[in-house]
A = this chain, B = another copy of it.
Amino acid sequence: MEFRQLRTFRVVADHLSFSRAAEQLFMAQSSVSAQIRSLETELDLKLFDRIGRRVLITDAGLKLYEYARRIEEMTDEIRSEVTGAKDVRGALTIRIPETLASVYMPEVVERFYGDNPRVKLNFINCSDLQLREELNSGRIDLAFLLTDAIHMKEVNVRMLRSEGLVLVAGPAHSLSRQKKVMPDDLHRQTVMFPRTD
């Protein structure tokens, strides 16, 4: 039993889906299957009931889930406790689109500032093209992006959540009369899209 397996199990349990878990963990679905299988083999029990293509967690799975949560919390505790018990000082330079920042950052900043009052947070804008370079060079420490996937070695990438894309039209617009709008309906329409710059 290893941490990685427990984490994989926890994410599968969260989504009750191997595919979704694979997405979130940035790995192939087959690998998720393999990890769960190895856990089940080692503990000699079933963690999920696979009824058709539906995934249900077993009683044993539920128990393991609680432990997995506790252990994950504990490892986080280790990192913060062991690496730096003192108070953390310094500065973080963060790139984030304004649209995201205005919605999500207030709460995050408040909580972060509560834990780390000596850390200064600098939010900056920069062009998307320069982003990789800026991360690699170390000029920025952290970036929040609206994208489906990004892969860079030397840079840690984690999916935090997914945002739905909603089509909004005025009441007078022809599309407002339709119950369903298909992508093709947007042909020749003028559409306003968010840009991350």
Q: Which residue in chain B gives the minimum CB-CB distance to A89?
A: B44
Number of copies: 2
- Please tell me the number of chain A residues within 8 Å of chain B, measured between CB atoms: 24
* Complex Cα–Cα for A70 and B67 (A): 12
Chain B proximity of A88: nearest CB distance (Å): 13
Q: Does residue A38 face the partner (Cβ distance < 8 Å to B)?
A: no
| B-contact 0/1 string along A1-33, CB 8 Å cutoff | 111100000000000000000000000000000
* Complex Cα–Cα for A82 and B85 (A): 34
Q: Which residue in chain B gives the minimum CB-CB distance to A65?
A: B82
Contacts of A83 in B (CB 8 A): 43-45, 60
Q: Does residue A74 face the partner (Cβ distance < 8 Å to B)?
A: yes
* Complex Cα–Cα for A71 and B45 (A): 22
Contacts of A158 in B (CB 8 A): none
Is the contact region of chain A dominated by helix, strand, or loop, or is it mixed?
A: helix
Contacts of A71 in B (CB 8 A): 71, 74-75
Contacts of A75 in B (CB 8 A): 1, 71
Chain B proximity of A137: nearest CB distance (Å): 20
CB within 8 A of A67: which of B44, B67, B77, B84? Answer: B77
Those of A15-73 within 8 Å (CB) of chain B: 43-45, 60, 63-64, 67, 70-71
Q: Which residue in chain B gives the minimum CB-CB distance to A44?
A: B83
Those of A110-142 within 8 Å (CB) of chain B: none
